[in-house]
Amino acid sequence: MRRESEKKAVVLLSGGIDSATCLAYARSKGYECHALSFDYGQRHRIELKCAKKIARRFQAIEHLVVRLDLRKWGGSALTSGKIKVPKDGLKPGIPATYVPARNMVFLSVACAFAEARGINEIFIGVNSLDYSGYPDCRPQFVRSFERTANLGTKAGIEKGKIRIRAPLQQMEKWQIVKLALSLGVEIAETSSCYDPAPDGSPCGRCDSCEIRKEALRKAVPQR
């Protein structure tokens, strides 16, 4: 069996509850964690400040912030000034906050980073229950990405074992909050809002704020 200290992972860290929980979870399982965030022109850049604090709290070995301007082409309420963040409740279908191919881009860059570091495991905090509107949060996407990564990389060919870990995949948001609290995540240190004020305070009305509030109510009933 591998010694705990030999377990290494790249963890995608946005600065929200999910990715913070994912990092905390990987740490609790004994992984040495290399955190990766993206400065992609997102409306909610405050999350990068959060990511920095979270990486420090959970002793990431390193925390890389990669610049990649997805605002060049927009196509999402999070990366274009022309599309508004919806604030009238969750609707069926893929929401306007979907960012074209975002998780595929993030996972691909994570694979590049992991491969260069000799790391075979990548953690991503996707969950498909609350966010069923996002195609790139679904298990069938994650599994297919893993297969592709093992076909298109040296690590995959020579070792055949790039693993995409999505430990929150089947959890509901309130269960994630419970797990987060049990692992020492400071909820106040995370940011979920899609449309925060310039000082970083949440709007309280976007889908992500609504889901977060509801999850906190359910996970911590005494609040």
Binding site for a copy of itself (CB under 8 A): 64, 66-70, 72-76, 94, 98-105, 107-109, 111-113, 115-117, 135-136, 138, 140-141, 144-145, 147-149, 151-158
- Give the full edge-to-edge strand order of the sheet including 62-67: 62-67, 32-39, 8-12, 121-123, 163-165
Q: Can you state the angle between helices 17-28 and 46-57, rounded to 10 degrees?
A: 20
Nearer to a copy of itself, 8 or 178 (CB): 8
We find the least distance from the C-beta atom of residue 189 to a copy of itself, in angstroms, to be 25
- Report the alpha-carbon distance of residue 12 to residue 85 in Å, rounded: 24
Instruction: State the minimum distance, in angstroms, from the CB of residue 20 to a copy of itself.
Output: 23
Query: Closer to a copy of itself at the Cβ: 29 or 159?
Result: 159
CB 211 within 8 A of CB 173: yes
Q: How far is the CB of 209 from a copy of itself (least distance, A)?
A: 22
E strand or H helix at 219, and its extent?
helix 207-219
In the complex with a copy of itself, the residue whose CB is nearer, 144 or 201, is: 144
CA distance 168 to 4: 22
| Least gap, CB of 122 to a copy of itself (angstroms) | 11
Which is closer to a copy of itself, CB of 101 or CB of 197?
101
For a copy of itself, the closer CB: 83 or 216? 83
Tell the smallest beta-carbon distance from residue 208 to a copy of itself (Å): 18
Q: Give the whole-angstrom CA distance, residue 28 versus residue 126.
A: 18
